[in-house]
Structure formats: structure tokens, C-alpha cells
Structure 1
Amino acid sequence: MKFLTILAISIGLLTASQAMERPSFHTKGTPIGKPTGTLKPGEYWWKPQLSPSGPVVVLVSIPQQTMHVYRNGILIGRSTISSGKSGSTPGGVFAILEKKETHRSKKYNNAPMPNMQRLTWTGIAMHSGQLPGYPASHGCIRLPYDFSQLLFTTTSRGGTVV
């Protein structure tokens, strides 16, 4: 009986931790097969094998609500994003300061921020989130969940984001 209780609790804990990975209101993401053309909210393209190693640069277009990922100057990925409302996402060149697969906002009601990559110490980061097709965050760069996982495993602390 004790064994079954421990087993049930263990399964419950494992299930709960997996549910935290992608909050239900975060956009899962839809892979597409072409590197060019218009992307619908939540769509992404990812082909890291085109340039398997080398430095990575992430370019974010706030007007287009897109992200392009380059390795050795070769496009390996692109995605839709949702940046901050009313100019709250700063422009410039940033280094990835911190990376956490599981993170919760200290600023916005403990909001889940899976695959968080911090760009400033004042609350700007790239992470999984809801993508409505327009700027909607407090300043962060929201990504489709699946794309955020791929990007997280490709970038490094100190990596460049423009």
C-alpha cells in the first residue's frame, strides 16, 4: 500500500512538472517548410543543419514581428514573435545575460517564462509566450514554445541579439 502511495505521488509530481513546461495559453508553434515568405502568428522555420557550428546572431524585427537566427552568417531559423506594446521593447545590440529553461517572472505575477533568455537586468527577455500577431507583451520578446526550445539549445550565454 505504501509503495502504491509513493508511486502515485511520484507520477503526480512528474505530470505536474511536465505541465509547467508549456502553459496552455502559450502558442505551441507550427513548423513550416520554407525559409522565405510571410509567416502567420506561431509559425516558424528551423534548419540548423545548414550551418552546424559557429557563432549565432539573433536578429529581431519589431516592425515585422519576426526573428531571424543566423549561424556563421547563414540563416538557420526564423519565427514570428510578439514584442512589447507601445515601444516597450528596446532596440539595440544585446548579449544574452542569463538562460533558464524554467523561469517565473518576479515582476509580473509569477508569470511562466519557459526557455527564458535574459537580455537586460530590467526585465527584458526572449521566452515562450502567447503570439496574437501583434505587439502584446510588457517588453519581452515572446516566441512560439517549440521554437523557443530550439533557440534555447542553440544560443549561448553572451550570444548576440540585435
Structure 2
Amino acid sequence: MIDLSEQRAYFYKGGQLAGISPVATGVAGNRTPTGSFRVSEKEVYHRSNLYGHYVDRAGYVRMSSVDVRKDRRPPGTVFRGASMDFFMRFNGAVSMHAGKVTGRPESHGCVRLPWHMAKIFYENTPMGTKVTVRH
């Protein structure tokens, strides 16, 4: 269960609370949707196809924190999607994954967990697991 007002994820196993983690959820304009969902896709090493950086041929970042739908790619660069390790999709483009967590909303709608907690949640979450998001 993900509690948006607390910025915490509660992991239940067999009906018993097994773990709690801080999270970072969606900001205004990109709020994390509330409701009941199911994990529909899992991937250990996933990269975003929307958000990331434009890098040159040598791999140097030339433009950071881009949205490919809004930010024009500078000549001579390619798009490198943001890393989303321990990716668990649960509602369209919305997923849980490892990322920066400061205890407040700061994502594009996904639920970010600290890397070590994302790994634990990933390893203990089978496909089809129910994900509840509430305020």
C-alpha cells in the first residue's frame, strides 16, 4: 500500500506488515493516481522512454532532465533514458522503481523507492500483486 500523504510504502506479505519504506511520488500536474491496481510488468534494469538526458557520442550529458515530448534534441546527441532499476509497472506508465527519495513528492507520477528498498520490494513482489495507492 502506498500512502501519498505520508510518502511511505507499506509492504504486506500474507496479510502481515513486512516492511515500510519512504517514497517520492508525483508532483502537482503529475500526481500519482489513487486506486487499486496490479503489478503488470517487472524488469530489473529498465530505462525511461520519456525522461532522461541528451548525451553526446562520448557519453557526456549535454542536456539533463529532459522530457522527449517537450525538449528538442541538440544536434549530435542521443537520448539516454533515466535509470529505473527494479521497475514494477502497476498503472499504465506509472510504476514503482529505485530513484531519488527525499520524503516529499518529486516524480513525474511514479513511486520512487530508495535503491535497497526497491530491490527488496522487487524480489518479494510477484506479477499480479495488488498495489493500493491512497491519500
TM-score, normalised with respect to structure 1: 0.62
1:147 is displaced (CA, Å) by 0.5
1:85 is displaced (CA, Å) by 0.3
In structure 1, runs of 5+ residues without a counterpart are 1-58
1:73 is displaced (CA, Å) by 1.2
Partner of 2:43: 100
Give the structure with the larger strand fraction.
2
SS at match of 1:106: strand
Q: What amino acid is aligned across from residue 41 of structure 2 in structure 1?
A: E
Q: Cα deviation per residue 1:130-162 (whole Å; 9 max; x = unaligned)?
A: 012210000000001001001101001111000
Between 1 and 2, higher relative CO (CA 8 Å, sep ≥ 6) is seen in 2
Q: What amino acid is aligned across from residue 88 of structure 2 in structure 1?
A: Q
State the identity as a percent. 34
Report the RMSD for the aligned CA atoms in angstroms: 0.9
- Tell whether 2:84 aligns with 1:113: yes
1:64 is displaced (CA, Å) by 0.3
1:88 is displaced (CA, Å) by 1.2
Q: What amino acid is aligned across from residue 150 of structure 1 in structure 2?
A: I
| Runs of 4 or more consecutive aligned structure 1 residues displaced over 4 Å after TM superposition | none
Partner of 2:34: 91
Give the structure with the larger helix fraction.
1
In structure 2, runs of 5+ residues without a counterpart are 53-80
TM-score, normalised with respect to structure 2: 0.74
Structure whose alpha-carbon radius of gyration is higher: 1
